[in-house]
Structure 1
Amino acid sequence: MLPIAAWSVLMYGSNVGQRTVSEAEFIMLTLGLCVPLIWRRRWPRAVFVLIAVVAAVQWAAHIAALPPDLAVLIALYTVASRCGFRWGLTAAIVAEAGAIMEACQQWGLSWEQARSPAIFLTVVVAAVWVFGIYMNTRRAYLRSLEERAARLERERDTQVQVAMAAERARIARELHDVVAHNVSVIVVQADGAAYAIESDKERAKQALEAISATGRTALAEMRRLLGVLRESDDTGSYAPQPGIEQLTDLVDQIRASGMPLRFEIDGVPRELSQGLQLTVFRIVQEALTNTLKHAGTGATAHVNLHYGDDSVEVRVRDDGRGAAAADDGRGHGLVGMRERVAMYGGSALARARSGGGWEVVARLPVREAART
């Protein structure tokens, strides 16, 4: 029944109780045992059952084991390596039963004489079954590695998308700060130029020059920020982000628009990280932009930057209309300001002053980020 029986015949003795196969029987058994192997990967259990039935018919006909009986071991390996453990164990038990039956028939149903070839065939069947189980486990392990790699790749792509969304949100806040501030300055300068164009042409000329400079600055910053959104890698380097040193230029720009502004720095200046400097700059810019938009005519502003032992405090206040100023409900400046401050573990407060006007106070911890 099993192919290895032919070898055991040569090793242990002659075929007692078995007959020689004819040419027609040999061809039929060869086809019955070997042809089903073509579909063993697609239907491993069905192929094993079919081959086992053909081998059982061969045993019942007292036909000696033939080389095509190797198909039994091949089918057993296929079931063990491609099906579940229970199916592999069942196939091994069937093959082992066939090995014992073949050994007993070969030696005239004498167990004492058939014991040695039966043990030999049992070792062969067990080796084939163990090797099939090993390959099944290995394939399962490789599949788990592939699934894990695919899952990690999906997680990586998700993290990249989240990071891109966060970067685009940051750029959106930057664009809001740039556009809102510069457009507010342009509007104030345009109103001043329209008012003074008949009575004071020199002042109107200065206002138009300020509008031109502000517009160019706004365009340059917008090009830089929008360039980050390009997907190509050859966008080139971008201009550095504004920091505390650029606060002087911002103050001069506000003063040029016609609003009186006082700027003070208290304490011992620290060297801050670029991100923290950008946060300070955007807070002052947003607060002054709101002052230009809502404080009204004749308002004055005061910016105070205080360096403490473990924090930097930014205070921007004005004496304009304060809470009485109209709000269209579309602004995102204060929300973006609080988000920026929250990233550094600080606090931000925007409120109406008791004596009139508006005040923005932001406190940013700098103990970790600062270097004296």
Structure 2
Amino acid sequence: MTEAAPEPGNAHPARTAVRLAGYADLASSLRAARPVRAARRWGLRLPPVVGDSLLPALLLLNVVTTGAPGELPVAVALTAALALPLVWRRRAPLTVFGAVAAAAFVQWLTDVPLPADVALLVALYTAAAHSGRRGALVAGAIVEVGALLACLRWATEGAFLTPFVAMTAMVVAAAVLGVNVRTTRAYLAALEERAARLEQQQDQQARLAVAEERTRITREMHDIVTHNLSVMVALTDAAVYAQHRSPDKATTAMLRTSETGRQALTDMHRSLGVLRTGEPDAERHPLPGITQLETLADQMCAAGLPTRVEVQGSHTHIPASAQLTVYRLVQEALTNTFKHTPAGTPAMVRIRCSADTVTVDVTDSGPRPTLRGATASGHGIPGMRERSAAYGGTLEAGPLPGGGWRVSTRLLLDSGGAVSA
């Protein structure tokens, strides 16, 4: 007689029953573990002294319930002397160890063996965990001597070695465990201190980076705005002056003003675009450099400051940041010349490039009656000094013996531009 095949909906009923039984056992295990987890959480919320009081209470309860009536007072007193100091073992570990060791010696003198001798191991562990290596060695030696005396007095004849080895192993284990706990605690404290110190250093570096970036942006905005606004004001005044006498020149001046304004907006977008991720303006418009000095000179000529640029040596190997520094130095120097000299004063820009240095020299021949006061309170000269110092240079700005003004510096390319240009 053949056995009927199980239906698809009821395939393998035995396996299903076993699986359901396993789920039931797992659920019951989880329910049984809930009180344990609750008790553990409740125990973690208790103060440490409560946990330290548990062992003395158990030892006293044991001696009260199991001690002989005739020896009960002495046993209770000795147990209390051995166990009760453990309540304060975290506050004064060495003092508690000394009290427990003294009580154990009195116990040995009275010849009363007690289970409360385990308090010596607890006191030894605490002393090793809270004192130095020398303290742990001294405490371990004291307990080892006590173990030897206990085995000599209470070990049965012919069975001295076994209990002595066992007690020695317990002494060594308690001492090693305490030393390991102390080492781990010191290691974790060192890690926490190092993490706090690194976090403080990172905060300081972040604040320094923010201050440095703020200084860079301020310097860039000063150069861009001051130069271009000065040129735009001069071109606008020229256009107003020429609008009736020479409309063509007025139109040219206004077109130059519009071009200068657009250039200023482009420079601002480019300078601020590096702060934004994916800003297209920073990629479409490269940073100005030595090549753009001719354009800058044409702009100054149109504003009324005849400017000539002379570049000696190849500048293709000079980094873009160093070329930007050169451009900003020349731009600020020409702007100061434009603001503090009469119209038509010629200016000369000389750039000498070598393998390791770039020398910038900007001179003019005009009088400068108000420049000294302006440099004392303005931001132009200090900003140029900061840019030059970023490449190990020292800026020299002052009047020439035969009249005029000179701004000169030499940038060291191998200094790497420690400060952003």
Q: TM-score, normalised by structure 2?
A: 0.67
Match of 1:187 in 2: 233
- Equivalent of 1:105, from 120, 131, 153? 153
Match of 1:5 in 2: none
Stretch moving more, 266-275 or 247-256: 266-275
CA distance in 2, matches of 1:325, 1:151: 48
Stretch moving more, 290-299 or 249-258: 249-258
Task: Note if 1:129 corresponds to 2:129.
Answer: no
Question: Shift of residue 202 of structure 1?
Answer: 3.4
Structure 1 gap segments, 5+ residues each: 1-19
Task: Note if 1:359 corresponds to 2:406.
Answer: yes
The 1:158–1:365 alpha-carbon spacing in structure 2 relative to 1, beyond 3 Å, is closer
CA contact (8 A) 1:179 1:218 kept: yes
Match of 1:297 in 2: 343
CA contact (8 A) 2:269 2:281 kept: no
Structure 2 gap segments, 5+ residues each: 1-65, 417-421
CA contact (8 A) 2:392 2:415 kept: no
CA distance in 2, matches of 1:104, 1:280: 92
Question: Shift of residue 281 of structure 1?
Answer: 0.6
Task: Note if 1:221 corresponds to 2:286.
Answer: no
Instruction: Compute the RMSD of aligned alpha carbons.
Output: 3.8
Specify the SS of the correspondent of 1:241.
Answer: coil
CA distance in 2, matches of 1:356, 1:117: 105
Specify the SS of the correspondent of 1:313.
Answer: strand
Task: Note if 1:81 corresponds to 2:129.
Answer: yes
- Equivalent of 2:289, from 243, 248, 271? 243
Match of 1:139 in 2: 185
The 1:217–1:35 alpha-carbon spacing in structure 2 relative to 1, beyond 3 Å, is farther
CA contact (8 A) 2:391 2:412 kept: yes
Match of 1:12 in 2: none
- Equivalent of 1:153, from 199, 215, 219? 199
CA distance in 1, matches of 2:315, 2:187: 60
Aligned residues: 344
Task: Note if 1:312 corresponds to 2:358.
Answer: yes
Task: Note if 1:70 corresponds to 2:118.
Answer: yes
Deviations 1:18-55 (A, max 9, x none): xx833895899888867776764455446545655665
Specify the SS of the correspondent of 1:327.
Answer: helix
The 1:330–1:226 alpha-carbon spacing in structure 2 relative to 1, beyond 3 Å, is farther
Question: Shift of residue 310 of structure 1?
Answer: 5.2
Question: Shift of residue 203 of structure 1?
Answer: 2.8
The 1:47–1:184 alpha-carbon spacing in structure 2 relative to 1, beyond 3 Å, is same
CA contact (8 A) 1:181 1:289 kept: yes
The 1:34–1:222 alpha-carbon spacing in structure 2 relative to 1, beyond 3 Å, is farther
Stretch moving more, 71-80 or 193-202: 193-202
CA distance in 2, matches of 1:40, 1:260: 89
Question: Shift of residue 80 of structure 1?
Answer: 0.5
Task: Note if 1:95 corresponds to 2:143.
Answer: yes
CA contact (8 A) 1:188 1:292 kept: no
Task: Note if 1:175 corresponds to 2:224.
Answer: no
Structure having greater relative contact order (Cα 8 Å, sep ≥ 6): 1
Question: Shift of residue 326 of structure 1?
Answer: 6.2
| Higher share in helix | 2
Match of 2:300 in 1: 254
Question: Shift of residue 293 of structure 1?
Answer: 0.4
Match of 1:331 in 2: 378
